[in-house]
Chain A
Amino acid sequence: MVLVLNEEQRMVKETAEGFFAEHAPVGQLRKLRDSHDPDGFDRGLWAKMAEMGFAGVAIPEQYGGAGLGMVAAGLIQEAIGRNLSLSPFLSASVLAATAIAKAGSDEQKAALLPKIASAELIVALAADEKPRHQPHFVAARAESSGNGFRLTGAKPFVLDGHVADRLIVAARTSGEEGAPAGITLFLVDPKAAGVSVKRRAMVDSRNAAEIALEGVQVDGADVLGGIGEGFATLEAALDVGRACLAAEMLGVSGQSFDATVDYLKNREQFGVKIGSFQALQHRAAHLFCEMELARSATLKALTALDEGDARAPFFVALAKAKAGDVCRLATNEAVQMHGGIGMTDEFDIGFYMKRARAAQETFGDTAFQADRVARLLNY
């Protein structure tokens, strides 16, 4: 295994960078936010992402995807991070696609995956119940009823939940609230009786939904994977999501860093460019080194996932922990080094800091991932 992009991956990178800069630059996010767009993203863009093969980048070719794997998905997500492009890519193409590909029956895969790849179907993951990520804490219950189950519970933070055509809901068929065993995944139609979906606008102008399930009837055929065995699937999907978030944070860090270095070269005070002040030079150079470390860790995590390496969860935790820390530093330094203008809504840099915060919190922040690294190393 080598930690270097191959020809195909370099092409994905180049294409993705060009595509998102052209079709979904940060100005689009501003427009969607200011107009209180009901979807919170541009459906035209999402359709184009399907045409480009992005929406199905990690979906196997036999199900209409590009089958390019996680390194490629990470490169797309990094370009998304650079431009703060809005789309259901993480929810549908990464999280849901992974869960379905891993645990779905042949029928489920054939019915859902091609439609994700073609952007006809948005599938969102409804797993977390606690404000701080704690994936095995599932209190939502699934009780057998008829030839299926009745679901009751609350999912307060479902990414892209308000635009989802289908939900993957984690609910408990047995076991205690905090136990990994006994969690089962269900495919739920958000329009079904008993489901209520409330949009939550977030600090990063992205969308999540608060979803309540009250006695929602699902069919036995809507169980995704084995009964009581959903946690392994959930973890696999979350890990892929975490690695892609690490990649996105590389993009967020990279873009805010580039903008900051530009600013240092242009802004003058005391009759000189502020970039000539060593106090700022050293902080920028330090940040540069940190970003290189985060990049190596992230590339390793994505590569390990592609190779089915047994240590992939370790490298994923490592990458998300490191990339999260670095992204926080990068975006905070960016605001600070821009001075007053960095604090204005009119200037884009604030968007990057907001996204950095949200991406860190999503599916486990640095403290969560660091604890996991320690546990995986047995201490």
Chain B
Amino acid sequence: MMDETPELQAFRAETRAWLEANCPEEMRQPVQGDGDICWGGRKWRFQSEAQRLWLERMAARGWTVPQWPRAYGGGGLSKDEARILAQEMRRLKARPPLSSFGIWMLGPALLKYGNEAQKQAHLPKIARGEIRWCQGYSEPGAGSDLASLRTSALPDGDEYVVNGSKIWTSYADQADWIFCLVRTDPVAPKHLGISFLLFDMESPGVSTSPIKLISGYSPFCQTFFDDVRVPQENLVGTAGKGWDIAKYLLTHEREMIGDMGSLGRESMHQIAKRSIGTGRDGRLKDGVLRADIVRHEIDSYAFALTMERVKDEAKAGQGVGALSSMLKYAGTELNKQRRELLMSISGSDGLSWEGEGPEEGDLAREWLRSRANSIEGGTSEVQLNIIAKRVLGLPGA
């Protein structure tokens, strides 16, 4: 902060003042359950007036997507300004005004591969939280081997006709639109026949069936397409070149998931001190668990510092390739370990599943939910494969 230019200092001061004046008190409280996260969309019911106001005010400044161009509903901020905004939001403990797959995944892909009409049509609605997107990648027969997907989209006049099924489609039943990988060329080699298609989930022929997770949450669905007609102009990029877009989007998804490995809101040792207590020497009373906790915290710090270094290096035009795979692998494995340790720290408190309190059952459910971190967005094994091939240059099997 010391070497900040006068312009950035002024930006910081303005931002701080604006946030203090405009972030509702309720939106400065820690996120407890899923309902505290605003996902937006046609079906979204705001949990409170404050949640609605906070989204509106931030969206009006383009600060739900601070670095997107203003023309598409973004804030047009530079990296440095965006960093300052994030810091100032953290300072106020402000909640993110909007979270969505549109922001994390589709937006970056459209900015790079979309045509002008597609950008105009979709980006501002993502920025304002009007349309909620889901991701149609995985299929019953195509998980890690995503490129073997079979959902077909065959041209018919100026439309495509889509048939097939997706699975594990997170929030498909809540979403308004889907970005979907489809096979437009049934005879081309498997990576070459794939296209990237956008369509409305209310189109005739789309149906979803929720699937319940071990955590008791039911965030994903099997999604069926039965002669769904989609205008050809909804195809992003070139037909048959969808795989490149799919991969580009995955790097954004992986970085976002990997980010969860960063230090939590309350550090683990603080929670442990409360539940286990410290001896006269100030050390946690359970010596073996203390050792496990500190090993974990060392890794978490090292991971957070790696995120920082990666950003700094990218800014300086240096850095390693296949980064998103490294961050995804390390970050998700850490988050799983964190959840495992929190269960140990909490003992029988961690075992409760249902009850009166608002947080009752959270620990167990979050522990269970975290198991998916190393599966969704490409499994840990797949990330290791990518690192082995792309970074280390090891030969194929």
Contacts and interface: CB of A to CB of B under 8 A. Distances in A.
Contacts of A275: 394-395
A3 B308 CA distance: 7
Interface stretch (B54-62, B225-233, B287-295): B287-295
B294 A282 contact: no
A4 B308 CA distance: 10
Given A281-B385, A296-B302, A296-B305, A379 B278 contact: yes
A300 B303 CA distance: 12
A4 B318 contact: yes
Interface stretch (B64-72, B247-255, B265-273): B265-273
A337 B17 CA distance: 58
A261 B392 contact: yes
Given A296-B305, A318-B298, A375-B283, A3 B312 contact: yes
Interface string A250-278: 00000000000100110000001101111
Contacts of A289: 326, 329-330, 387
B255 to A, nearest CB: 14
Which interface class (under 10, 10 to 19, 20 to 34, 35 or more) fits A?
Answer: 35 or more
Given A4-B313, A284-B388, A285-B388, A276 B397 contact: yes
Given A4-B309, A289-B330, A375 B388 contact: no
A276 B294 contact: no
Contacts of B308: 3, 296
Contacts of A288: 326, 387, 391-392
A370 B392 contact: no
B381 A282 contact: yes
Contacts of B318: 4
B294 A371 contact: yes
Contact of A293 (B272, B299, B384, B393): B299
A120 interface: no
Contacts of A278: 385, 388, 397
B388 A281 contact: yes
A273 B395 contact: yes
Nearest to A297: B302
A193 interface: no
B306 interface: yes
B302 A293 contact: yes
Interface in A200-227: none
Interface string B131-166: 000000000000000000000000000000000000
Nearest to A264: B394
A379 B303 CA distance: 21
A28 to B, nearest CB: 29
Nearest to A300: B305
A111 interface: no
B395 A378 contact: no
Interface in A171-201: none
Given A292-B320, A374-B294, A318 B302 contact: yes
A367 B291 CA distance: 8
B301 A297 contact: yes
B282 A375 contact: yes
Contacts of B395: 265, 272-273, 275-276
Contacts of A379: 269, 272-273, 278, 282-284, 290, 293-294
B117 interface: no
A139 interface: no
A318 B312 contact: no
B316 interface: yes
B35 interface: no
A224 B144 CA distance: 63
Nearest to B330: A289
Contacts of A370: 291, 294-295, 298
A71 to B, nearest CB: 13
Contacts of B384: 281-282, 285-286
Contacts of B312: 2-4
B360 interface: no
B366 interface: no
A272 B303 CA distance: 35
B378 to A, nearest CB: 13
A373 B388 contact: no
A32 B254 CA distance: 49
A293 B392 contact: no
Interface string A335-379: 000000000000000000000000000000001001101110111
- Rank and list the top 3 A-B pairs by shortest CB-CB distance, nearest first: A281-B388, A285-B387, A293-B302
21 contacts: A4-B315, A265-B393, A272-B397, A276-B395, A276-B396, A282-B381, A286-B329, A288-B326, A289-B330, A292-B306, A293-B299, A297-B301, A300-B305, A318-B301, A373-B298, A374-B269, A374-B293, A379-B269, A379-B272, A379-B273, A379-B284
